[in-house]
Structure 1
Amino acid sequence: MTVDPHHPGQATPVRISEADEEHAVLAFSGDLDAHALRVLEELLLDPRLRRPGAWTLEMSGLDHLDLACAYALLRAVSRVPEPAAVTVHGAHPAVHRTLRHAGLETVATFTR
């Protein structure tokens, strides 16, 4: 379990579960809301996310996604020097809808 450094005792709703030169997997769980935005933005600046040519956003464990967090994901994907191929996997309908409202469907592929 990864602990949220801004809220000790609480698990962070997002973590890098794997990252190498070719592929990075970000695993999401619980609620990703305004309280977690700073943690998400800090994680998205991790140097391990600049190298891979592909990202998988594993969202099957994510129950709620705040629109501000969805925009943070879009900004992160958009600023990678060479655009990464992004796959969103397992997003529940409400999470998928929030990602669509933020415009992530223009840069990502969605899979079940």
Structure 2
Amino acid sequence: MPPSEKELTVAAEHTTPPAEPAIFVSVDDSHRAELVLTGDIGAATLRELEETLDAPPLAEAAEWVVDMSGVTHLDLACAYALLRAATLRAKPAELTIRGARRAVRRTLRHAGLDAVATIVE
């Protein structure tokens, strides 16, 4: 039996729409940068992510803290971009990733970030 109109309306109200991707950066005086990622970090976000990772203040920071608690999906290409940016520098950044969901942590591991970063739930 097909669902009633009321059941469909209730189901639609409980479905969370995908969050728009967003990238925020802040740096303190000790050259510690915080990168906050939210939403679906995928192909549409890759160029912006790469530009953010290569530009000051992240490029100059010695320590990166990446807050992924608001990331609903992380594309493997974006995880590789983070890996390249953190490690292919004259002095690699000390990288801590926090708040990543299980699926996001799996993508981070597939990219090899668990070998160069501290991943904190």
C-alpha deviation, 1:64, in angstroms:
0.2
Structural RMSD (CA)? 1.6
Partners in 2 of 1:31 and 1:12 — Cα distance?
5
> What is the match of residue 39 of structure 1?
48
C-alpha deviation, 1:81, in angstroms:
2.0
Query: Which consecutive residues of structure 1, in runs of 5 or more, have no partner in the other structure?
Result: 1-9
Q: Kindly indicate whether residue 24 of structure 2 is the aligned counterpart of residue 15 of structure 1.
A: yes
Kindly report structure 1 stretches of 4+ aligned residues shifted beyond 3 Å: none
C-alpha deviation, 1:51, in angstroms:
2.1
Kindly indicate whether the alpha-carbon contact (under 8 Å) linking 1:87 and 1:108 is maintained by their aligned counterparts in 2: yes
Q: TM-score, normalised by structure 2?
A: 0.78
> What is the match of residue 89 of structure 1?
98
Partners in 1 of 2:68 and 2:88 — Cα distance?
21
CA radius of gyration, larger in: 2
Partners in 1 of 2:22 and 2:41 — Cα distance?
6
Partners in 1 of 2:90 and 2:23 — Cα distance?
22
Q: TM-score, normalised by structure 1?
A: 0.84
Query: Which consecutive residues of structure 2, in runs of 5 or more, have no partner in the other structure?
Result: 1-18
SS in 1 for 2:69: strand
C-alpha deviation, 1:13, in angstroms:
2.2
Alignment length, in residue pairs?
A: 102
Partners in 2 of 1:12 and 1:60 — Cα distance?
13
Matched residues, percent identical?
A: 48
